[in-house]
Structures are given as C-alpha cells and as structure tokens.
Structure 1
C-alpha cells in the first residue's frame, strides 16, 4: 500500500510539474505576442466631435459641415442642427457627456491597443477613423461601424444609475457604463470580421456568438471576462458555477440541432435572465447560450493550432466536434 501510495504521489507530482510548465510556457508565449503587438505602428485617428459640436455657434455650422460632411446627411436641413445647438435638453445631454468624459485618454489608449491587436491577427485590416458623438441615448446604436468610420455615442455610457436611463429595463441600463465601452467597440469590430452562419441551428448560433467573444479574448485581453460578455462579476460567477447543468439542460432537451426560433430569445438575446422554465430562472443572467458557445470555441482553440481568421471561417459543427467540449461537474 505504501509503495502504491508513493507511486500515486509521484505521478501526481509530475503531472503538477508538467501542468505548471505548460502554464509558464503559455504565459511566455503571451508575453512575447504582447510585446510584438505593442510595436505595431498605429496612429489612432480620434475626433471628439461631441465636444466640437458642443462648442460650435450657429455661425460655425457651415464649417462643421464642410469638415465632416458624412455627419450631416443631406436630407436634414440646417434648421435641424441649429435647433440641436440651442435645445435645452440637448445642452443638458452634451454637458453630462462632457463631464463624464472630460478625460478620454484611457479610452483612447485602449482603442489604440484594440486596433493594434486586430492588425496583428488580421494583417489586411485598416483601422477606421473614430468619432465620439451623441445620439439621443439610442442604446441599440451606441456603436456604429463602417469599413472606414467608427461612431461611439458617449451619451450611452454615463453609468447604469444615470437619470437618462431611468425608464430602461435594468438589464439594459447595466450595460450603459463606460467600463463596457471598449468591449462594445470590440463587438462591432468582431461583427465585421465574422461570417454569419447559414445554419439556423441553436448550436450554430451559440458558436457564432462564441466566435465573437473569442475575438475579444484576442483583441482586448486587458479586459475582464465579465466585461467581454457584458456581465457583472456575480453574473459571471453564476454561469461558471452552473456551466455543467446549463449544458446538460441543452443536451437533455435536444436543443443543439433545433431550429426553433424561440430558443434565441430564451438563451442568446439580451434579457433580464435566461428561460429554462425552472424556478432558478430569475437567478440566472441572460445570454447563457453565448457563454456556452464561448467555452466551446475556447476548448477548440486550446486543442488546435489554427489562426484566428481560419477559425472564424470554420463551421459550427467542425468546431463543436473537434473541441471535445465537456464542462466540469
């Protein structure tokens, strides 16, 4: 018995050593990658248009339109913009934004880091020109991206308890905080890089969102997992603790290959909680299916030597089968 115990102890000790060596090697690779990324030349083109518009007088409108024609759609007459300049509610909104974002240095540094990471993994990518604006708290459009321009509507990042958001559902207001700004930009970037699945199955949709979240692992590694997915730390702790029963629920109910559209709002769309049809539903955060998809993609990437762009073009089925995903009990 003593010999057997000693053998088990030695085996466990060697396993621990190999695991530690693996972790150290991974950390070394990460440090090397981050040093290479930091050296990538990038001049962030950032314009605080919200400040420029707030400072402008009616006589400056023509100059603003001349410098930023894409911000003044032709179908809107000058009277619209002149009214915005003098409207008392608009002035309050712009004042709140200016106070909350009087210093944008950290956000600018994080944006530059984000785009350097994108350029490292996607060498043909061209970083867009970034404009900060206001959009009357239209939170669905708080980040707007085209091939060459990115708009950040700062009036959607004043903090979850701000009076502007008093009529919003709590799960929506939770995300209207500056701590999620960079993560939201990463979402917009990911959307431009990730093909939409033609497969309508629940599994394909989960893995699509998993891909978007995995992109965040790579382009904003400085953000927490909670920020990446838009959870509080308590919500993230809940899904981590319940990952195995969530997965078991999906398997037992044969959801993976279902094309039932009702599964999307239950487990993938923004919501106050996920809808398992159980008493514990209101303890859960929404979008748990996205979290599961994220873990499947992570499991796949840990086991396969493949580039990020290549992975994004793989089918959900291939990623799922080769991930050997199995959450811990």
Structure 2
C-alpha cells in the first residue's frame, strides 16, 4: 500500500537534469514593452477622462464615481505601491523577452503581446495573469506576486500563497500561453489522457523556459518537487495497482491534478504528499518519450494522443 512505501527520501539521488530544449537562439529577442496601468490610474495629475481615453477597454461597467473613489483610496494606493515595489521591471522585461523568443522559435506565428501591469487591489491576486487574444494583450496583476506570507494575504490559503512570489510570474505566463497553444482532446478523457495533456503543457514549459527550475513550472516549492522525484515510482505504482490509469472517474482530477495543499491517496501519507502528482507523472511520461524518441519534433509530439506517447515512452519509473 502507498501508506507503507511512499516515504519522502531526503537524500535521494539527483536525476539527469539535461534539457534537450536548452538551445541557443540566434535571432534577436523581441522588444517587450511594459505598461503600468495603475501608475497612471493612481496619479492624481492624470484626469479620469485622459485615463479612459488612453485605456478605453479598462473601464468595463465601473462608473466614473466608483473610479474616482478608487483613485483616491489610500488603502488601495498603499497596496499598489507595495506590490509594484516587489517587481524588478527591467528583469521582468528581459525574462519575458527570452520567453517570447523561445516561443517564437517553435511557433513562428506567435506574436509578442503588449504587456500590461496592473493592481486589482487583491481581487484577482489568486488568478493574476490572463491573455486577451483579440488585441494580443497580456495582463499581469502585480498584487498576485507580493510574496508568500505577505500580511495582505491574511486569510488566503497558504498552499496558494506558495506560488505568489515574483519568481512565479514567468512560469505562470508560460503556462497561460502553453494552454492557448494546445487544447485537450475532448473525446479522450481517461486519467491517462488528462495527465499526459498536462505533461505536454509542462513539456512546453521545458521548451520555453529551458533554464527555469523545474519546481517553479509546477508552482511547487523545491521540497514539494523533491518529494515527487523521490516517490515517482511509488505514485505510479499506486495508480496502476488501483486501476486508475485508464479510469474515467472525474474525481481523479480533483484528487491528483487540481491545486490543493496535497494529493488525495486516502492514506496516512496524504498530508505529507505534494499536490498535482498526476501532472508530475504525466510530465515524466513525456520526458521519457523524448528519451526513447529523441528525433521526434515538438509539433509531431503535440499532435500525438496520450496512448501513443505512453506506449512509446515505455514508462516504468524506477527511483534509484
């Protein structure tokens, strides 16, 4: 049983960390423009009419009276100033430029988005990044990256706060874009299909962010990633022994793939486990596939169904 054998190995051997996607891009990196919308929003020298004219899509259903009140709200301004101070904008521009260059290398039709920083006054802090494809706008809510245990996050689940640090911005942007580039197959919804799809998303993160630490791509802490590495074989054996691999039980997604403080094996080990272990296993299946089929192009791989990837990967994890 998992409860007997799934043990966190503190001194586990390190795996081969070579990333086949860590290539040198010869083309000039794209120029990224960052626009801090909230800087102007809270600037009393900028009239509301000027602001609305410059950002006509920003208003939505908010009335001018509400906008005026918000612009003068000292508590809201304080949160904005604290949040923006956490962001190294030059570093962010450089990292976004590298990310977009890697995406364009494999997806030539990808166009560099206009990037907007803004403060939602914590209203969007737990889901702080979104793409507006019509105009190719990328929005980043800076209040979502003020650092775990920030006093402003009081009352928010600690497991969510773990990925609310400035270092999580780029992996989250990468994840959002990867999910725009590929879509799950609605006809195939077995557990294997779902975890391999997430493996594809994480493979794209390997491609787009070849030097980014793996744990950040999963919104993990380093310790959570090491736990999965140490227990990869045991997790997979649990899936196999409990006939979960080809199950169509929708509850498995919530147990092993959703954001949560831990995964739900329904054993004594649960509280020690990392969340989203299904995503981790799907990622390892995809990585094993490329070890077995190194000459497969990324585009061909992305078109493959989960069963083909699994069969050709010959995935039988063995932790040394």
TM-score, with normalisation over the residues of structure 2?
0.88
Correspondence for 1:72: 59
Correspondence for 2:272: 283
Matched, 1:323 2:304: no
Matched, 1:302 2:291: yes
1:243-271: CA deviation from partner (whole Å, max 9, x where unpaired) = 00000000001101111111111100011
Correspondence for 1:243: 232
How many Å apart are 1:65 and its aligned residue? Answer: 1.4
Does the CA contact (< 8 Å) of 1:118 and 1:125 recur in 2?
A: yes
Matched, 1:182 2:167: no
Does the CA contact (< 8 Å) of 1:51 and 1:98 recur in 2?
A: no
Structure 1 residues 66, 228: closer, same or farther in 2, change over 3 A? same
Does the CA contact (< 8 Å) of 2:144 and 2:164 recur in 1?
A: yes
How many Å apart are 1:98 and its aligned residue? Answer: 2.7
Does the CA contact (< 8 Å) of 1:273 and 1:286 recur in 2?
A: yes
Correspondence for 1:207: 196
Correspondence for 1:104: 89
Q: Matched residues in 2 for 1:44 and 1:318: separation?
A: 38
Structure 1 residues 302, 56: closer, same or farther in 2, change over 3 A? farther
SS in structure 2 at match of 1:272: coil
| Aligned positions of 1:7-156 closer than 5 A | 33-36=23-26, 39-57=27-45, 60-73=47-60, 75-101=61-87, 103-137=88-122, 138-147=124-133, 148-156=136-144
Which segments of 5 or more consecutive residues in structure 2 lack a partner in the other structure? 1-15
1:259-292: CA deviation from partner (whole Å, max 9, x where unpaired) = 1111111100011111111111111111010000
TM-score, with normalisation over the residues of structure 1?
0.86
How many Å apart are 1:309 and its aligned residue? Answer: 2.7
Q: Matched residues in 1 for 2:271 and 2:282: separation?
A: 21
Matched, 1:253 2:223: no
SS in structure 2 at match of 1:145: strand
Structure 1 residues 41, 225: closer, same or farther in 2, change over 3 A? closer
RMSD (CA atoms): 1.7
1:79-117: CA deviation from partner (whole Å, max 9, x where unpaired) = 22211101132112112113222x311111100100000
Correspondence for 1:292: 281
SS in structure 2 at match of 1:150: strand
Greater shift in the superposed pair: 130-139 or 169-178: 130-139
Matched, 1:166 2:171: no
Structure 1 residues 214, 30: closer, same or farther in 2, change over 3 A? closer
Structure 1 residues 165, 35: closer, same or farther in 2, change over 3 A? same
Q: Matched residues in 1 for 2:70 and 2:302: separation?
A: 42
Q: How many residues align?
A: 298
SS in structure 1 at match of 2:266: coil
Which segments of 5 or more consecutive residues in structure 1 lack a partner in the other structure? 1-22
Q: Which 4+ stretches in 1 moved above 3 angstroms?
A: none
Q: Point out the structure with the larger helix share.
A: 1
SS in structure 1 at match of 2:291: helix
1:153-188: CA deviation from partner (whole Å, max 9, x where unpaired) = 000100001011110111011111111111110011
